[in-house]
Structure formats: structure tokens, C-alpha cells
């Protein structure tokens, strides 16, 4: 049975606080903690009217703006699932808005930094001594990483994660947070780009993506050159 709630894009829902805002409903295949983090971040954003969770009920504390649905048909944006006519957001390639994850963030940071920066991100695993070394902010510290698709992947233990772009003189742009929170916010920012009409990898509008990740709760640190 299809979700019976009519799309808010077809209704008058402008209370005057945000002139020009386009009412939006986002469907999320909520199968893991990362997508639930994305849903939570989107519910807190003024651009989002409703979040539909596919495959599970919404926590009571989220109120009636989060509902359980069966599919994304008729919704404005989808995360983790696709449907004809509904723009989808993906962590990798292939989505209407693509690379809304650590790899996309690394490339966006590199574009802001300019030049030919080294790009790096942490991944879950045992630290390695091989590859290039990167000095991530405390409490992560120095990690080795292997290059793949233009980004150094640096294994580390624990729940933290970081993404960094570093110039030759030591200046770096870094985002560091809890892994699930970071990944969820990156997905949420991709969904907001979809609402605004973006199509393609997030780094093709790097400045907008970086502004949106901060809107949904991430902090972008700028480490001065050595």
C-alpha cells in the first residue's frame, strides 16, 4: 500500500519565516545507524517538512514529522533506495546526487583548498605503517594510508572518523567527528543539495556542499600552514 500522505510540494506550506523555501519530503531506507543519523539531521533542518522511514517506525521523540512509509514513490528525495521520478542520494557513484560521503567530502575540501592537495580519510581497521603519513587532529594523530582513486584511506580503530585535504605547506581543512554522525550528516547534506536541484557529484558545487555539512552539524576546521 502506498503512503497515503499527499506530497507537501503540492500544498501551501509557507509560514512566512523562510520566504522562497520549497517544502520538501525526504524518504530514507533506514536500515542502519548512519541513515538514522541522516534522518535526525534532516528533521532538524528548516528546509525539510517531513521524513519518511522505509522499513521501520519513527522514534516517538521525533514527533509527527517523521512517519513510517513503504516506498519513496511520491516523495521529493530518496536516500538508500530509488524510485522512478524521485531524485536519489548515494554515497558512491550512480545517484542523482552522488558521492555524498567521505570521498565526496575529501574532494570538496581539496577544491576549497586549491592547488594540488593530498586528500585523506580514515576507515575502520587496524592502523598500517605503509603508505603516506597524515597528521590528523587530536585525538587521532598520525596514520598511514594507501592511495585509491585519488584519496588516501587510513585505517584506524575506534568510533571516530576524519576527512582531510592538506596542501604542500601544511595547511589543512579537516572534518572530525563520530563516524556514524559524520557519515549521516554527509548524506543529509547531499539530500539538501537534491532539494535545491543539484545533479551530480557533490564536489561539482563544493562550496555549497561544505556550507550544507555545517548547516547539519559538522564543524570544518582550518589548520594553518606550518
pLDDT for residue 225:
65
Asked if the model's pLDDT at residue 16 lies above 70, the reply is no
Indicate whether 25 and 46 sit together in one domain: yes
Q: Helix, strand, or coil here: 54?
A: strand
Asked if the model's pLDDT at residue 15 lies above 60, the reply is no
Residue 135: exposure state from Cβ atoms within 10 A (0-12, 13-18, ≥19): middle
Percent of the chain with pLDDT over 70: 89
For residue 98, the cross-strand partners are: 201
The verdict on residue 46 lying in a domain is yes
pLDDT for residue 9:
36
Using alpha carbons, select from 45, 40, 3 the residue that is nearest to residue 24: 45
Beta strands in 55-168 (DSSP E): 66-69, 77-79, 88-89, 97-98, 118-124, 132-136, 141-148, 151-156, 160-166
Range of the structural domain that residue 128 is part of: 102-180
State the average pLDDT over residues 82-90.
Answer: 92
pLDDT for residue 55:
85
pLDDT for residue 82:
87
Indicate whether 160 and 52 sit together in one domain: no
Indicate whether 145 and 130 sit together in one domain: yes
Indicate whether 126 and 188 sit together in one domain: no
Indicate whether 88 and 20 sit together in one domain: yes
pLDDT for residue 23:
64
Indicate whether 113 and 81 sit together in one domain: no
The verdict on residue 226 lying in a domain is no
Indicate whether 125 and 85 sit together in one domain: no
The verdict on residue 206 lying in a domain is yes
Instruction: For residue range 94-131, list pLDDT tens digits in order.
Output: 999 999 999 999 999 999 999 999 999 999 999 998 88
**CATH code, 60:** 3.40.50.720
The verdict on residue 187 lying in a domain is yes
Asked if the model's pLDDT at residue 164 lies above 90, the reply is yes
Indicate whether 26 and 78 sit together in one domain: yes
Indicate whether 26 and 86 sit together in one domain: yes
Amino acid at each position: 500500500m502506498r503512503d497515503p500522505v499527499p506530497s507537501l510540494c503540492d500544498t501551501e506550506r509557507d509560514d512566512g519565516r523562510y520566504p522562497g523555501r520549497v517544502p520538501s519530503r525526504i524518504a530514507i531506507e533506514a536500515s542502519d545507524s548512519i541513515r538514522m543519523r541522516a534522518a535526525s539531521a534532516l528533521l532538524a533542518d528548516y528546509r525539510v517538512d517531513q521524513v519518511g522511514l522505509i522499513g521501520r517506525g519513527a522514534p516517538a521523540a521525533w514527533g509527527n514529522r517523521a512517519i513510517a512509509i513503504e516506498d519513496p514513490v511520491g516523495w521529493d528525495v530518496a536516500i538508500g533506495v530509488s524510485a522512478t521520478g524521485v531524485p536519489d542520494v548515494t554515497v558512491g557513484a550512480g545517484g542523482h546526487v552522488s558521492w555524498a560521503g567521505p570521498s565526496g567530502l575529501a574532494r570538496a575540501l581539496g577544491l576549497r583548498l586549491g592547488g594540488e592537495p593530498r586528500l585523506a580519510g580514515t576507515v575502520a581497521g587496524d592502523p598500517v605503517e605503509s603508505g603516506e603519513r597524515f597528521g590528523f587532529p587530536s585525538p587521532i594523530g598520525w596514520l598511514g594510508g594507501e592511495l585509491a582513486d585519488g584519496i588516501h584511506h587510513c585505517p584506524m580503530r575506534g568510533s571516530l572518523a576524519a576527512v582531510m585535504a592538506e596542501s604542500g605547506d601544511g595547511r589543512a581543512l579537516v572534518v572530525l567527528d563520530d563516524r556514524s554522525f559524520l557519515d549521516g550528516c554527509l548524506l543529509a547534506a547531499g539530500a539538501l543539495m537534491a532539494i535545491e536541484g543539484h545533479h551530480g557529484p557533490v564536489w561539482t558545487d563544493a562550496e555549497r556542499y561544505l556550507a550544507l555539512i555545517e548547516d547539519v552539524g559538522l564543524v570544518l576546521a582550518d589548520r594553518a600552514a606550518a
